[in-house]
Amino acid sequence: MASSPPAAPSNFLRDIIAEDVKSGKHGGRVQTRFPPEPNGYLHIGHAKAICLDFGLADEFGGHTNLRFDDTNPEKEDIEYVESIKNDVNWLGFRWDGLYYASDYFGQLYEWAIKLIKDGNAYVDDSSAEEIRKNRGTLTEPGKDSPYRNRSVEENLNLFERMRAGEFPDGSRVLRAKIDMSSPNLNMRDPVMYRILHARHHRTGDKWPIYPMYDFAHGQSDSLEKVTHSMCSLEFADHQPLYNWFIAQLGIFPSRQIEFDRLSLTYTMMSKRKLRRLVEEGRVTGWHDPRMPTLSGMRRRGYTPEAIRNFVTAAGVSRTNGIVELAMLEHFVREDLNKRALRVMAVLKPLKIIIDNYPENQVEEMDAVNNPEDASAGTRKVPFSRVLYIEQDDFREDPPKGYFRLSPGREVRLRYGYFITAKSLVKNEKGELIEVHCTYDPATRGGNSPDGRKVKSTIHWVSAAHAVDAVVRNYETLFSKENPDDVAPGQDFTANLNPNSLEVIADAKLEPSLASAAVANRYQFERLGYFCVDPDSKPGKPVFNRTVALKDTWAKVERKHKG
Q: Give the pairing of strands 349-354 and 501-509.
A: unpaired
Q: With respect to RNA, which residue has the nearer C-beta, 457 or 462?
A: 457
Phi, psi angles (nearest 5°) of residue 29:
-80, 140
452 labelled catalytic? no
* Candidate segments 151-159, 210-218, 471-479, 511-519, binder of RNA by CB under 7 A: 210-218
Contact 8, 312 (CB under 8 A): yes
Candidates 4, 22, 23, 138; binder of RNA (CB under 7 A) is 138
Minimum separation from the CB atom of position 515 to RNA (A): 22
Contact 494, 487 (CB under 8 A): yes
Minimum separation from the CB atom of position 152 to RNA (A): 21
d(CA 364, CA 450) in angstroms, rounded, equals 23
Q: With respect to RNA, which residue has the nearer C-beta, 288 or 521?
A: 521
Minimum separation from the CB atom of position 534 to RNA (A): 26
DSSP 494-549: GGB-TTSEEEEEEEEE-GGGTTPPTT-EEEETTTEEEEE-TT-BTTB-EEEEEEEP
Q: Does 200 engage in binding with RNA (CB under 7 A)?
A: no
Question: Which x/- pattern over 286-315 shows residues binding RNA (rule: CB under 7 A)?
Answer: ---------------------------xxx
Q: With respect to RNA, which residue has the nearer C-beta, 391 or 447?
A: 447
d(CA 124, CA 444) in angstroms, rounded, equals 87
Q: Does 505 engage in binding with RNA (CB under 7 A)?
A: no
271 labelled catalytic? yes
Candidates 32, 64, 126, 512; binder of RNA (CB under 7 A) is 126
Which of the residues 428 through 457 are near RNA (CB under 7 A)?
445-447, 456-457
Minimum separation from the CB atom of position 314 to RNA (A): 4
Number of residues this chain uses to bind RNA (CB under 7 A): 93
Radius of gyration of the chain (CA): 31
Half-sphere exposure of 119 (CA within 13 A, CB side): 2
Which of the residues 54 through 73 are near RNA (CB under 7 A)?
69, 71-72
37 labelled catalytic? yes
Minimum separation from the CB atom of position 524 to RNA (A): 8
* Candidate segments 102-110, 136-144, 490-498, 512-520, binder of RNA by CB under 7 A: 136-144
- Residue 52 CB partners (closer than 8 Å, separation 6+): 13, 230, 259, 316
d(CA 180, CA 285) in angstroms, rounded, equals 44
d(CA 370, CA 343) in angstroms, rounded, equals 9
Which is catalytic among the residues 33, 37, 48, 339?
A: 37
Q: Does 409 engage in binding with RNA (CB under 7 A)?
A: no
Candidates 97, 358, 401, 539; binder of RNA (CB under 7 A) is 401
Q: Does 106 engage in binding with RNA (CB under 7 A)?
A: no
* Distance of alpha carbon 14 from the chain centroid: 24
Length of the chain in terms of residues written: 562
Minimum separation from the CB atom of position 472 to RNA (A): 20
Candidates 47, 56, 81, 173; binder of RNA (CB under 7 A) is 173
Minimum separation from the CB atom of position 427 to RNA (A): 26
Contact 5, 253 (CB under 8 A): no
Q: Does 15 engage in binding with RNA (CB under 7 A)?
A: yes
Candidates 155, 186, 256, 495; binder of RNA (CB under 7 A) is 186
Minimum separation from the CB atom of position 340 to RNA (A): 9
Q: With respect to RNA, which residue has the nearer C-beta, 103 or 288?
A: 103
Candidates 110, 118, 153, 237; binder of RNA (CB under 7 A) is 237
Q: Does 183 engage in binding with RNA (CB under 7 A)?
A: yes
Q: Does 543 engage in binding with RNA (CB under 7 A)?
A: no
- Residue 353 CB partners (closer than 8 Å, separation 6+): 385, 386, 434, 435, 436, 437
Contact 72, 324 (CB under 8 A): no
Q: Does 118 engage in binding with RNA (CB under 7 A)?
A: no
Phi, psi angles (nearest 5°) of residue 383:
-120, 140
Output the 3-class SS for 66-124.
EEECCCCCCCCCHHHHHHHHHHHHHHCCCCCCEEEHHHHHHHHHHHHHHHHHCCCEEEE
Which is catalytic among the residues 271, 298, 333, 472?
A: 271
Q: Does 191 engage in binding with RNA (CB under 7 A)?
A: yes
Q: With respect to RNA, which residue has the nearer C-beta, 4 or 319?
A: 319
DSSP 160-193: HHHHHT-S-TTS-EEEE-S-TT-SSGGGSS-EEE
Q: Does 121 engage in binding with RNA (CB under 7 A)?
A: no
Candidates 318, 452, 540, 560; binder of RNA (CB under 7 A) is 318
Q: Which residues are catalytic?
A: 37, 261, 271
